[in-house]
A and B are shown apart, each in its own frame.
Chain A
Amino acid sequence: MTDIMRFANPLKLGVIGLALCLWLDPAAAEVVAVVSSKSTVTMLSKNQVADLFLGKLHSFPNGEPAIPVDQDEASSVRDEFYSRFTGKSAAQIKAYWSKIIFTGRGQPPKSVSSSAEVKRLLVENPNTIGYLEADRVDGSVKVLVLQ
């Protein structure tokens, strides 16, 4: 009996630890597409968000130019964003951009190193569109409603 207890305790701890890790892991937080709180844009389709970040679309439906801002290539929020909005992995997105870059047709969006940086750019220029973890949303940004 005591032997079983000795086994059960580390097992239980392990499960709790794993759950904690998943909860703390920023990759597990939902990623949302955001614009500046001053922007008049409120709603976009998932496809439109994807097209803006893939360089297929250059303006919002209201005609205002759109400036997408990416997060760092090594960040999990970026992988999460592309997987949710385009259904593509980091490698597929890289392959997609290498097609565009090496045909001289364009360059990927500028990327910044943190969600705080994204928010700073959104405040600076209301035409910017970015993405961040849902728990990083504050009054300076507006979460886009997906049609």
Chain B
Amino acid sequence: MSHKLIALAWATITLCASVARADTPSPMFSLSGFGTLGVVNANADKADFVGNFFQPNGAGQTRRWSADVDSKLGVQLDARFSDKLSAVMQVVSQHRYDNTYVPQIEWGNVKYQFTPEFGVRLGRTVAGPFMQSESRLVGYSNPWVRPPMEIYGMLPITNKDGIDAAYRFQLGEATNAVQVSYGESSPKLPGGGGIKAKNFFEINNSIEYGATSIHVGYTAFRFDFRTPGLDTLFSGFTQLGDALALIPGQEAAAAQARALVDQYQLRNTPYSVVSVGVNYDPGAGFLMAEWGHEQSSAVISSTTAWYVSGGYRIGNFTPYLTLAQVRADKPGTSGLTTAGLPAPLIPDATALNGGLDSVINAFMFSQKSVSTGVRWDFMRNSALKLQYDRLHTGAGSGGRLSNLQPGFQPGEKINVFNAAVEFVF
């Protein structure tokens, strides 16, 4: 469906462009872009600090300094065919799952604005229930080097293909915008594998009044999550279950092995995130906070996260401080009961149990961090940010670190230095 939708959106753009050319001399096209040139240093020896869940490596054990974590370039073409009909195509090049920078279509949609207040978009649009979901890649528009990973890592998917309706209205002097969308998304994962998110439903509401805005968002979908490692683990349990089923007296163990597959395998697994955010920005400074809860199941822990961030503007300099935390509710498991199994199968069962435990630990994202930095708007349309993060992964967890190697110590404290030049054009 996703390719069909993009194709449909593209066909509509070109069709509209030719129609618009026919009746008006110049349909309005505008080209704009954004980018980040950033370097990160992280003193992790057995893990990598990454910019998002899909990056195969980053700063840390792969290399101390990495330009891959934040560097990106986005180019956007806006087309306005009439007062009501417009289209957007945004292509972004960033460090992606296959260790390349091959550009991907971030947005590609056609919008029909029925009234100044109500519009519908068809094609690839934003995914995410957070306050900065729509602009999380546009570093220049945010105060920090990157939105706090504790919250934004709850939903690493940034776009989906489908339909999106937005209604904006005045509430006295306040502006309220509500956005409802439905679609699907299938990003690929490092190391061969991917996510398929279906029935991807979202509702976001934001109220703005003067310097204050309040955002409430909700995302829900069902998804398949496949990697070669997970496939091996669950086919191992399935095969063990099949073998046990053939052995008289092992029916209960066989059923338990199969039940473990059903319980922990990431197939059609429900996932939802609810979030609330407040931003107060009277000009001289800003105070921002978000809270979120991610409800998951199978091997993935449910998490609750928050951050509080504040900054004060002194001329072209904006120093800021952010505190953030994500806490996980680890799903309990005892794996397959090995007592009573036929002796030759016990080593297999023990190995599979160990595998399941480590997968559950890998999907338990728990960490807290303190970040402090300064944004310097050194010239028109460009800003330099220097940021230091002190990151503390939770007990038994690698936090938002990636590429964990044997010997990684959960609960480790890591120092991260970031420098980024961000621009728009």
Q: Is A73 in contact with chain B by the CB < 8 A criterion?
A: yes
Known contacts A94-B380, A102-B138; decide if A56 and B208 are in contact (CB<8 Å). yes
Q: Which of B111, B126, B142, B283 contacts A87 (CB 8 A)?
A: B283
> In the complex, which range does the number of interface residues on chain B fall in?
35 or more
Which residues of chain B are within 8 angstroms of A59 by Cβ–Cβ distance?
Answer: 116
Which residues of chain B are within 8 angstroms of A90 by Cβ–Cβ distance?
Answer: 380
> In the complex, which range does the number of interface residues on chain A fall in?
20 to 34
CB 8 Å contact bits of A44-68 with B (1 = contact, 0 = none): 0101100100001111000001000
Asked if A94 and B381 make an inter-chain contact with CB atoms under 8 angstroms apart, the answer reads yes
Complex: how many Å from CA A14 to CA B210? 42
Q: Which of A12-69 contact B (CB under 8 A)?
A: 45, 47-48, 51, 56-59, 65
Q: Is B24 in contact with chain A by the CB < 8 A criterion?
A: no
CB 8 Å contact bits of B114-141 with A (1 = contact, 0 = none): 0011000100011000000011011011
Asked if A56 and B107 make an inter-chain contact with CB atoms under 8 angstroms apart, the answer reads no
- In chain B, what residue has the closest Cβ to A91? B377
Q: Is B313 in contact with chain A by the CB < 8 A criterion?
A: yes
Asked if A104 and B107 make an inter-chain contact with CB atoms under 8 angstroms apart, the answer reads yes
Complex: how many Å from CA A44 to CA B313? 29
Asked if B381 and A102 make an inter-chain contact with CB atoms under 8 angstroms apart, the answer reads no
**Which of B121, B283, B313, B316: most chain A Cβ within 10 A?**
B283
CB 8 Å contact bits of B196-235 with A (1 = contact, 0 = none): 0000000000001011000000000000000000000000
Complex: how many Å from CA A9 to CA B210? 50
Q: Which of B340-397 contact A (CB under 8 A)?
A: 377, 380-381, 383
Binding site for A on B (CB under 8 A): 30, 32, 34, 74, 76, 78, 80, 88, 90, 107, 109, 111, 116-117, 121, 125-126, 134-135, 137-138, 140-142, 166, 170, 173, 175, 208, 210-211, 282-284, 313, 316, 377, 380-381, 383, 424
